[in-house]
Structure formats: C-alpha cells, structure tokens
Amino acid sequence: MIWRDILGFLFPSECLICRQALQLGEHHLCFICLGRLPRTFFWSWPQHPIQRPLNDSLPVAGVHSWLFFSEHNTVRPLVHHIKYQGGAVLARYLASQAALEMGSGLFGCSPIFIPVPLHPVKLRQRGYNQSFCLAQGLQQIWGGAIEHEALRRLRHTKTQTGMNKEARKQNLAKAMAWNEIGESVEGASAIVLVDDVLTTGATLAACWEVVPESLRAKVHVWTLAAAFGS
C-alpha cells in the first residue's frame, strides 16, 4: 500500500470522473468523486423499491445494490471502464469500498460468492470476468469463498443493451447451468450471486433458476449498481 502511494506520488494518475490528479491515498477516484457516487442506501432494507418489482422473477432473500446506475450519471463510465477497459483492479476496489460501507452483517460469517459467468468465448476476448473481480473485492472485506465454477454459461448470448425485459428473458432462456460445487455450499451462511449492473434482472433470474431448490432460501443478489425504474 505504501509503495502504491509512493508510485502514485511520483506518477500521479487521474480521477476517472473529474480528471483531477489523484492525491496520496486515492485510487482510481478522488475522495470527492468517490463520496459523491449515488448510493442507493437500500442494501439492508427488506423489500425495498429495487427488489419489490423483481419478486416474481427473482424471489431471492435480498437484493443489495450499492449505487444507482443511469445513462447520465457518474456510475456509467465506471461500469464501462470495468467491462471494456481492463478495469479488473477498479472492479475489486469499488466492490471492497461497497462492502466496507454496506457493513459486516449483511451475509453472515461464511458467505459464498458466485459471480455471474461469462461465456468462455467472451471471457477469452475480455481476459477477465468483471463479476469475478467484484466478488474478489467483496471477499477481501467479508471473507467467505468464491465459487466461480458453480454457474456455467452454456450459450454465447447476444448483448442485451437496448432489449426490453421479455426480449432479455428469451435471449437468456437455458443459457445457464449449475455445477455441483461440493459440501461447502450447504454450510454457507448465504449464497450471493454477484453481477455488475442490475437492469431488468433477467440475467440474475436465469442464474437463480438453475440453483438447486435446497439452496434457494439463502440466495441473495449483490450488484455494484442498479438501474432504478427501468
């Protein structure tokens, strides 16, 4: 950490949002921009306004999203950076910041984080799965384990940008499969499906549908951001 600060001092990089040079102790974002990110503050509420509309398609124990996502707010360029500009380190950093704010009691003492998988072709193209990197950031603060092979994407689905809820559902039909991951999952305090942005919930619902029934009661969803009201 100290070396990173020294390097940052010698070769200052810019805040991804305001483009001001980062100061000692700042990483990726200046403290002002980090503080101004639009938090949902819904993460520990039961049946909050993001979760309620998803009750039929995604009846999980809890939906926990740190930030609001919109086409025009500061979260969009961050998500773009995470997905398309080699932002694996940024994903880990933001998820760890989120976990620090969301508190230690959210998922109990031994959660299992399951990243939403990319198809192997897309994984090769991108070089990393951003959801796996987010899970690493969460694990850094909350402990537990990551089971990145629990879910498998069977089909290389089309990009979902611009699709409505029904089109997304069709696009994702039978796209996921569950792999047996051993006994650790049985004793987990929570099973947390991890994704970058929650929009219609179609991707997470496709994941939830293949989770064995015996485990479903402890499934939660964690996303970095949520598109509210879309």
Contact by Cβ (8 Å): 121, 59: no
Instruction: Supply φ then ψ for residue 70, to 5 degrees.
Output: -145, 165
Number of H helices, E strands in the chain: 8, 7
For Zn ion, the closer of residues 97 and 203 by Cβ is: 97
For Zn ion, the closer of residues 72 and 124 by Cβ is: 72
Cβ neighbours, 10 Å, residue 79 = 20
Residues that bind Zn ion (CB under 5 A): 15, 17-18, 30, 33
Supply the minimum distance, in Å, between the C-beta of residue 36 and Zn ion: 8
Supply the minimum distance, in Å, between the C-beta of residue 78 and Zn ion: 11
Contact by Cβ (8 Å): 171, 158: yes
For Zn ion, the closer of residues 59 and 77 by Cβ is: 77
For Zn ion, the closer of residues 54 and 78 by Cβ is: 78
Supply the minimum distance, in Å, between the C-beta of residue 89 and Zn ion: 17
Within 55-211, residue ranges assigned H as helices are 75-84, 88-102, 120-126, 130-142, 165-172, 202-210
Supply the minimum distance, in Å, between the C-beta of residue 23 and Zn ion: 10
